[in-house]
Amino acid sequence: MNGYPIFLLQCKEEFKKRFPEDPVPGELAVKCIERWKNMSDREKKWFNHLSIINSPSPTKQESAKRPRKTKRPKDPNAPKRALSGFFWFSNEHRGKIKDANPDFGVGDIAKELGKMWAECDEATKSKYEEMAEKDRIRYDKEKTAYQLKQKEDGAPQPDFYDEDAD
């Protein structure tokens, strides 16, 4: 931890005590830097100590002692989430873009798919949105059946994402 910010704050407070009517000049920071550079290690150590005491954030040692949260593994038997219309569109057109542009990376393909989706007419988009709606119905049925099976087996209920937020 560096005690210079504490030192600078103290310098500003001293200035305000001496000259309560005057605004703090910009040159004060320059003078404080010079004073800090010429200060003995013992004096700097005191300000460094104050900065550690007044620090609201934990030190590296304290944060290393905190246990990390473990991520709960996903159940492989859980139903796969529903795909959006854009993903149905992407699945159908990704191969065509790869074939036409073999040098494209994953990001380039995604950008091209995004452009194509933005330029699609409403009839094409509605086709894929309809596919997405059917997939959502499928997912809702599978999720309900899965949750009922979990209840019957006495297993803990998994946390599903809020599907309406998609």
Residue 138 forms part of a structural domain: yes
Residue for token digits 């946390």? Answer: 159
Find the mean pLDDT for residues 127-149: 92
Residue 113 forms part of a structural domain: yes
Burial of residue 7, with CB atoms counted within 10 A of its CB: 0-12 exposed, 13-18 middle, 19 or more buried:
buried
Alpha-carbon dihedral sign for residues 106, 109, 115, 120:
negative
CA–CA separation, 9 and 52 (whole Å):
15
CA–CA separation, 43 and 46 (whole Å):
5
pTM of the model: 0.51
Could you report the per-residue pLDDT of 93-102, keeping only the tens digit for each?
A: 999 999 999 8
pLDDT for 166:
45
Find the mean pLDDT for residues 106-113: 91
Position 14 pLDDT exceeds 70: yes
Find the mean pLDDT for residues 49-53: 83
Asked whether residue 97 falls in the same domain as residue 149, the answer is yes
pLDDT for 59:
56
Closest CA to 36 of 10, 60, 66, 59: 10
Asked whether residue 48 falls in the same domain as residue 91, the answer is no
Q: In terms of residue numbers, what domain contains 20? A: 4-58
Crossing angle (nearest 10°) for helices 85-100 and 122-153: 120
Residue 97 forms part of a structural domain: yes
Could you report the per-residue pLDDT of 57-92, keeping only the tens digit for each?
A: 655 555 566 677 888 888 888 898 999 999 999 999
CA–CA separation, 59 and 132 (whole Å):
49
Number of domains in the chain: 2
Asked whether residue 99 falls in the same domain as residue 51, the answer is no
Residue 144 forms part of a structural domain: yes
